[in-house]
């Protein structure tokens, strides 16, 4: 592109100067400008022209005279200063030239004159290696690569005429540029008339098109007469004639040279030799193989590389196998066809056969060029096969061969970058840029390194740090980075729902749209978000017309499908030629086509299953394998297998093979696979070999699956590794590789398959990339995460996979980041609307992904959430027993220790009216105390240590340890504790009573023991729970006692929704105490202690969330109980049996006042024959961080420390 633009500029300039002048305008002979004319001239423009002509002719005396005349007229003339600097550089006086250059940079840093001197300075110093490489490539006949370097070096501007003439000579090596080169030379001869070198190059261009062109002959004949330059022109003309096939006109040209220079012996000899050679040539041309040599070399000199050239040179070699000219020509043929090894072989042979010392350096250049590119080619081939060590070795050899070319350095850096070896890559890039500071390839690769390691903003800073000429080389990537920044701004605006900013960024991007079809699609999606759906569709349609590339058509099709236009999307994608469809395109096309069929089948089955079956039976004859797969998809594997078994292999068509292989693998039918292989092997299908390879591959993959099912990882790897390496990387068996890698990872180690997946990660689908992250660790995982962040076309599921992996690896901070990203993308995929992370959380749906993410995000935010909870609890019975508590609880998050520190205190007031057993003496217990506790709460365990209320009759230490674990589908809870018995004031606070003039002090019962719980709830409609308890009860002056309890229940979720639930259950409860210590008497604890108590209850509970701010719960139960009680222990009394019904009701509520405040309450009423407790609670809860969570579906209640189990 750069070359074409350069040529276009040259053409326009030439035409503007030539105007109506014919292409072959007459050119007068040059005559040296007299110094007197210079000394008398006051025309600065003319004087500057004389300086340039003198530079070209290496006439420093004339140049200095013209410069001094200019300085006399205009002392501060910038052009004169620049000319002095150029002359000093040409005279190899860099120190003096540097002073003049510094003066120029200070006076006119951006002037064209300064830039020309800077260019000449770079060619002499900073870019000498590149300039040498340019000359090497030109000598080696690699003109395209030479032109690329020339474009980078000169960028359309030339320090002097000599450099421009060299560039035009290089450009002239490509026939398609001849008209433009000729036009420019005509223009130069108009600007600088009578300059022999310009005339000579113009004549040479005429000679290229026609060696006998009369204008060229006239110019040669005029220039050869010049007494000072005649021999030089004669030499050039003679060299030109050497490249022309001998003919009568060829001999005539020698005659002209000799006739105009009769005193030059060499020309006379050349003429005599020409006549003699022509006679010999006439004899040689009677040989067909010799004529083939001439024709082949002629085509090679015209830059041809076709099969015709090969045939001619092969014919010539058949009779002249040791002719260096033919061998070199054949080497150039292979070099131009990028067969570097063959080219190298021919160049070496030609050098060994030719003893001409003048040609040896040329042979060496050709040999080095071929060997260098051969090594680079070998490195690229090794890299494609993932043989990275070998690729590195070849590139190092290329660098050892030629350390002045940056290409191998850049390739080596790219190799290191693909392996995330960033420091080594940077070292190579620094060398490459030092070697070729203005190499666009090196600079763009360095930019890629900066972006991948430091981000896009750092990339823009890097570009800004470069010189103006280097920045020009990165203009396109700079624009791309700026566009990506606009795209990032657009994405951020979409996430915030900032409509104004979205409109602004879209408008800016539409002015200079990005090249990427996927970014264009994102722009269209943003337009849809702000309500411009019709405009977005039209814009995508126009883009698809302007860019017919498969990627653009695919992006357009995906956009249409996303806009609920699947049929139009299918039409667009089907128009992409089959050989240009990527794997992703074919996948989408197949998915959409099958989705259309599947939708038809689903609709038919939904309306009438018999109709759906009729449809499948209707298709069965025309497409039996597809229909069999459909039966398999609707879980009718019996019919699918029957159809597959009945399918006649002899009727299979090539396009049915993939479906056949899918079914064979589904049923692990290796026998049918072998039958298919036998049949295909005797067919004459064009794609026979491809299909046989597919069958072999399917067979090996089935054996891999069998090995994996048997957990034979080594056996699976032995099959999978060669299968992977012998295929193209894009055809790698990704599912099996991932399955093997995951199974190996679960053993705690990684193996070859993980390394392969890591190195080929650029080819992975986004969900596979996410799976790879799940198996990585430490720095490698962080590098993969950085790469994942910039992937395009990622789905919410991919981000969920990464989030889930980070959760399992306890990478909590990043797990939260990727979880919120997954929620945002999931919301956009559902509603086509960008929202903030918090909004995506609050509006999450009831699907599995949303529930999983919300649950995990709740867990992650809970890790950092601290709260303060203050409440009041009032419980009472009709028997004038009352308890009042004011609890305060602080939970302090300590995420670095994976838990919360719990601090708790409770003010307890208890009051009870009793009658001392066996008397009529009334006793009132009224006590107040303050309990204290500290604890630690982790995800699966909890521990606490505290006191019974200080101020009660007795105070003691209490506490407990709880452990919750998962046993496959069951939950297990183990609790060891020491807690106060709170069922009566005596048992809880103790009492001091005067009875019969005796002071009695007793009570304060503590319950120590264990509890074991087992539950099962898989989120379905049914659940189960059970608890087993055993405790020992001890008190102050109270008889010791023992208690056991067994509880179990099941429940059915009549309504089971995320915001509403109705449960009905059945609970069974049985407990027993060793002694009946239920009386208010010294030695008893006044707590309910039957020897056998059994209850059967039917609970009903209803919970609902209202407006995402309030949760309510209504609970009711009816029960029937059976009681057996011994006589009171140690005092007179009788045993008893009893039974009766009980009823209970609870009302719960929790309301979120703000992101920091919640309030809740509870009212509970229970009614039985002799026990009627009631309870009222109210609490406030303050969260130190924003609380995103809605109130739980089942409102939380205020749990007193004294009631902890």
At 1092-1146, the pLDDT tens digits run: 999 999 999 999 998 889 999 999 999 999 999 999 999 999 999 999 999 999 9
Residue 155 lies in a domain: no
Residue 964 lies in a domain: yes
Answering whether pTM is above 0.85, one says no
Is residue 740 pLDDT above 90, yes or no?
no
Comparison of pLDDT for 445 and 655, the residue scoring more: 445
At 272-330, the pLDDT tens digits run: 888 888 887 777 777 788 878 888 877 877 777 778 888 888 888 888 888 888 888 88
| SS3 assignment, position 1000 | strand
Residue 103 lies in a domain: no
Segment 519-530 shows an average pLDDT of 88
Is residue 749 pLDDT above 80, yes or no?
no
Q: Please check whether residues 868 and 858 belong to one and the same domain.
A: no
Domain boundary among 808, 829, 863: 863
Out of 150-164, 382-396, 621-635, the most confident range is 382-396
Is residue 769 pLDDT above 90, yes or no?
no
Q: Using CA of residue 500, residue 505, residue 508, residue 513, what is the dihedral sign?
A: negative
Segment 973-991 shows an average pLDDT of 93
Phi and psi angles of residue 934, each rounded to the nearest 5 degrees, phi first: -135, 145
The predicted pLDDT at position 211 comes to 66
Residue labelled with tokens 């068996």:
733
Comparison of pLDDT for 753 and 1015, the residue scoring more: 1015
CA 317: distance to chain centroid? 54
Q: Please check whether residues 1105 and 1003 belong to one and the same domain.
A: yes
The predicted pLDDT at position 2 comes to 38
Taking the C-alpha atoms of residue 124 and residue 109, their distance in angstroms, rounded to an integer, is 20
CA 216: distance to chain centroid? 60
Domain boundary among 863, 897, 916: 863
For residue 441, CA distances in Å to 391, 448, 484, 515 come to 19, 11, 21, 19
Residue 533 lies in a domain: no
Q: Please check whether residues 923 and 977 belong to one and the same domain.
A: yes
CA 848: distance to chain centroid? 25
DSSP state of 952: B
The predicted pLDDT at position 1041 comes to 97
Q: Please check whether residues 1057 and 1197 belong to one and the same domain.
A: yes
Domain boundary among 419, 441, 466: 466
Residue 1074 lies in a domain: yes
Residue 101: count other Cβ atoms within 10 Å of its Cβ: 23
For residue 620, CA distances in Å to 624, 713, 1184 come to 4, 39, 65
Ranking 8-17, 80-89, 342-351, 703-712 by mean pLDDT, the lowest is 8-17
Q: Please check whether residues 967 and 1114 belong to one and the same domain.
A: yes
Q: Is the distance from CB of 338 to CB of 208 less than 8 angstroms?
A: no
The predicted pLDDT at position 1087 comes to 93
Phi and psi angles of residue 1033, each rounded to the nearest 5 degrees, phi first: -115, 125
Out of 205-214, 631-640, 975-984, the most confident range is 975-984
Ranking 12-26, 28-42, 374-388, 1137-1151 by mean pLDDT, the lowest is 12-26
The predicted pLDDT at position 14 comes to 34
Taking the C-alpha atoms of residue 1092 and residue 785, their distance in angstroms, rounded to an integer, is 62
Q: Please check whether residues 1025 and 1131 belong to one and the same domain.
A: yes
The predicted pLDDT at position 1040 comes to 96
Residue labelled with tokens 């006044």:
1086
Q: Please check whether residues 915 and 821 belong to one and the same domain.
A: no
Segment 71-93 shows an average pLDDT of 86
Residue 661 lies in a domain: no
Residue labelled with tokens 């128009």:
575
For residue 186, CA distances in Å to 21, 24, 97, 195 come to 9, 7, 33, 12
Long-range contacts of 28-34 (CB under 8 A, 24+ apart): 28/193, 28/194, 29/194, 29/196, 29/199, 29/222, 29/223, 29/226, 30/194, 30/195, 30/196, 30/199, 30/223, 30/226, 31/194, 32/59, 32/62, 33/62
Q: Please check whether residues 773 and 869 belong to one and the same domain.
A: no
At 63-73, the pLDDT tens digits run: 888 888 888 88
Segment 580-596 shows an average pLDDT of 72
- pLDDT band of residue 866 (cuts 50, 70, 90) is very high
Residue labelled with tokens 């659940």:
1023
Q: Please check whether residues 1092 and 1198 belong to one and the same domain.
A: yes
Number of domains composing the chain: 4
Burial of 273 (0-12, 13-18, 19+ CB in 10 A): exposed
Q: Please check whether residues 857 and 891 belong to one and the same domain.
A: no
CATH number for the domain including 942?
2.40.160.40
Q: Please check whether residues 985 and 1041 belong to one and the same domain.
A: yes
Comparing C-alpha atoms, which of 1185, 1184, 1183, 1198 is closest to residue 1152? Answer: 1183
Burial of 112 (0-12, 13-18, 19+ CB in 10 A): exposed
The predicted pLDDT at position 36 comes to 57
Q: Is the distance from CB of 316 to CB of 289 less than 8 angstroms?
A: yes
Comparing C-alpha atoms, which of 423, 414, 376 is closest to residue 395? Answer: 376
Comparison of pLDDT for 979 and 358, the residue scoring more: 979
Residue 412 lies in a domain: yes
Residue 719 lies in a domain: no
Domain span holding position 421: 384-466
Q: Please check whether residues 932 and 830 belong to one and the same domain.
A: no
Comparing C-alpha atoms, which of 765, 692, 775, 774 is closest to residue 732? Answer: 765
Contacts of 78 (CB under 8 A, 6+ apart): 104, 107, 108, 111, 113, 114
Ranking 748-762, 787-801, 1038-1052 by mean pLDDT, the lowest is 748-762
Q: Supply 789's token pair.
A: 């962040």
Compute the mean pLDDT over every residue in the chain, rounded to the nearest whole number: 85
Taking the C-alpha atoms of residue 1124 and residue 948, their distance in angstroms, rounded to an integer, is 31
Segment 914-934 shows an average pLDDT of 91
């Amino acid at each position: 592109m750069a070359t074409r633009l350069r040529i276009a500029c040259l053409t326009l300039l030439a035409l503007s100067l030539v105007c109506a002048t014919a292409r072959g305008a007459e050119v007068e002979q040059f005559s040296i400008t007299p110094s007197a004319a210079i000394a008398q001239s006051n025309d600065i423009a003319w004087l500057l022209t004389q300086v340039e002509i003198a530079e070209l002719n290496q006439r420093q005396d004339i140049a200095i005279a013209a410069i001094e005349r200019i300085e006399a007229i205009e002392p501060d003339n910038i052009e004169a200063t620049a000319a002095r600097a150029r002359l000093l550089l040409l005279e190899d006086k860099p120190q003096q030239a540097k002073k003049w250059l510094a003066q120029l940079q200070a006076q006119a840093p951006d002037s064209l004159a300064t830039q020309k001197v800077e260019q000449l300075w770079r060619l002499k110093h900073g870019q000498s290696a590149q300039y040498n490489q340019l000359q090497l490539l030109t000598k080696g006949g690699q003109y395209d690569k030479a032109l690329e370097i020339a474009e980078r070096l000169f960028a359309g501007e030339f320090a002097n005429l000599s450099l421009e003439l060299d560039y035009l000579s290089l450009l002239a090596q490509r026939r398609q540029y001849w008209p433009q080169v000729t036009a420019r030379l005509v223009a130069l001869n108009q600007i600088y008339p009578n300059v022999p070198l310009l005339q000579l190059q113009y004549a040479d261009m005429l000679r290229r098109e026609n060696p006998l062109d009369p204008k060229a002959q006239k110019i040669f004949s005029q220039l050869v007469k010049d007494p000072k330059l005649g021999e030089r022109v004669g030499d050039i003309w003679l060299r030109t004639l050497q490249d022309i096939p001998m003919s009568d006109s060829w001999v005539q040209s020698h005659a002209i040279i000799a006739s105009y220079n009769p005193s030059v012996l060499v020309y006379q000899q050349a003429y005599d030799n020409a006549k003699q050679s022509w006679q010999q040539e006439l004899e040689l041309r009677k040989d067909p193989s010799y004529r083939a040599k001439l024709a082949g070399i002629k085509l090679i000199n015209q830059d041809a590389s076709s099969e015709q050239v090969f045939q001619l040179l092969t014919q010539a070699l058949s009779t002249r196998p040791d002719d260096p000219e033919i061998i070199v020509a054949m080497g150039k043929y292979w070099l131009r066809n990028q067969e570097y090894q063959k080219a190298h072989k021919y160049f070496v042979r030609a050098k060994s056969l030719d003893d001409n010392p003048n040609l040896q350096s040329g042979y060496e250049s050709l040999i080095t060029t071929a060997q260098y590119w051969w090594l680079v080619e070998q490195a690229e081939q090794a890299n494609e096969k993932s043989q990275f060590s070998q690729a590195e070795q070849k590139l190092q050899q290329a660098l050892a061969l030629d350390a002045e070319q940056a290409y191998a350095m850049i390739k080596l850096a790219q190799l290191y970058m693909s392996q995330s070896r960033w420091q080594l890559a940077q070292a190579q890039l620094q060398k490459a840029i030092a070697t070729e500071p203005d190499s666009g390839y090196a600079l763009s690769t360095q930019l890629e390194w900066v972006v991948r390691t430091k981000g896009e903003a750092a990339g823009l800073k890097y570009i800004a740090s470069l010189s103006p000429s280097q920045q020009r080389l990165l203009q396109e990537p700079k624009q791309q980075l700026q566009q990506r920044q606009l795209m990032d701004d657009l994405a951020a605006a979409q996430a915030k729902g900032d409509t104004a900013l979205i409109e602004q960024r879209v408008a800016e991007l539409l002015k200079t749209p990005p090249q990427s079809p996927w970014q264009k699609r994102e722009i269209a999606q943003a337009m849809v978000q702000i309500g411009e759906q019709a405009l977005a569709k039209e814009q995508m349609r126009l883009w698809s017309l302007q860019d017919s590339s498969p990627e653009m058509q695919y992006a357009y099709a995906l956009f249409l499908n996303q806009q609920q236009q699947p049929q139009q999307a299918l039409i667009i994608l089907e128009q992409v030629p089959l050989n240009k469809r990527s794997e992703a395109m074919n996948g989408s096309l197949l998915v959409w086509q099958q989705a259309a069929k599947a939708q038809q089948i689903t609709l038919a089955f939904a309306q009438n299953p018999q109709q759906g079956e009729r449809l499948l039976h209707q298709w069965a004859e025309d497409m039996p394998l597809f229909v069999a797969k459909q039966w398999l998809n609707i879980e009718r594997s019996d019919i699918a297998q029957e159809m597959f078994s009945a399918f006649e292999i002899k009727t299979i068509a090539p396009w049915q093979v993939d479906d056949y292989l899918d079914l064979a693998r589904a049923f692990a039918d290796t026998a049918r696979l072998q039958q298919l292989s036998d049949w295909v092997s005797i067919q004459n299908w064009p794609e026979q070999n491809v299909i046989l390879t597919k069958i072999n591959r399917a067979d090996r993959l089935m054996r891999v699956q069998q090995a994996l099912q048997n957990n034979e990882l080594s056996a699976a790897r032995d099959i999978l590794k060669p299968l992977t390496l012998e295929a193209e990387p894009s055809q790698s068996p990704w599912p099996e590789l991932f399955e093997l890698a995951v199974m190996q990872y679960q053993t705690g180690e990684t193996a070859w398959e993980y390394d392969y997946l890591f190195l080929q990660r650029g080819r992975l689908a986004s969900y596979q990339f996410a799976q790879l992250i799940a198996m990585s660790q430490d720095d490698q995982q962080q590098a993969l995460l950085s790469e994942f962040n910039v992937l395009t076309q990622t789905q919410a599921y991919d981000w969920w996979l990464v989030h889930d992996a980070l959760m399992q690896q306890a990478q909590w901070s990043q797990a939260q980041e990727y979880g919120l990203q997954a929620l945002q993308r999931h919301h956009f995929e559902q509603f086509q609307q960008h929202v903030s992370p918090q909004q995506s959380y609050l509006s999450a749906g009831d699907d599995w992904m949303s529930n999983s993410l919300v649950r995990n995000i709740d867990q992650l935010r809970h890790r950092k959430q601290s709260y303060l909870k203050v409440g009041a609890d009032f419980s009472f019975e009709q028997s004038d027993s009352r308890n009042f508590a004011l609890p305060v609880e602080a939970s302090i998050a300590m995420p670095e220790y994976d838990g919360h520190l719990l601090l708790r205190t409770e003010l307890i007031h208890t009051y009870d009216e009793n009658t001392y057993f066996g008397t009529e003496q009334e006793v009132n217990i009224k006590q107040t105390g303050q309990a204290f506790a500290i604890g630690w709460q982790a995800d699966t365990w909890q521990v606490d240590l505290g006191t019974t209320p200080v101020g009660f009759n007795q105070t003691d230490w209490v506490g407990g340890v709880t452990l919750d674990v998962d046993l496959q589908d069951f939950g297990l809870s183990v609790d060891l504790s020491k807690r106060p018995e709170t069922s009566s004031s005596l048992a809880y606070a103790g009492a001091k009573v005067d009875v019969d003039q005796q002071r009695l002090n007793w009570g304060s019962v503590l319950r120590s023991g264990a509890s074991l719980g087992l539950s099962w709830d898989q989120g379905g409609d049914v659940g189960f729970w059970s608890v087993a308890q055993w405790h020992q009860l001890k008190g102050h002056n109270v008889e010791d006692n023992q208690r056991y309890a067994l509880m179990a229940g099941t429940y059915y979720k009549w309504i089971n929704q995320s915001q509403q639930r109705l449960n009905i259950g059945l609970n069974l409860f049985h407990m027993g105490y060793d002694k009946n210590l239920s009386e208010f008497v010294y030695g008893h604890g006044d707590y309910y202690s039957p020897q056998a108590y059994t209850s059967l209850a039917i609970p009903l509970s209803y919970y609902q969330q209202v407006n995402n701010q309030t949760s309510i719960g209504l609970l009711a139960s009816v029960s029937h109980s059976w009681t057996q009680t011994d006589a009171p222990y140690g005092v007179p009394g009788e045993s008893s049996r009893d039974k009766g019904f009980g009823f209970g009701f609870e009302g719960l509520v929790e309301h979120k006042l703000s992101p920091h405040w919640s309030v809740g309450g509870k009212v509970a009423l229970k009614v039985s024959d002799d026990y009627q407790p009631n309870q009222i609670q109210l609490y406030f809860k303050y969260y130190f961080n924003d609380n995103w969570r809605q109130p739980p579906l089942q409102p939380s209640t205020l749990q007193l420390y004294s009631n902890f189990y």
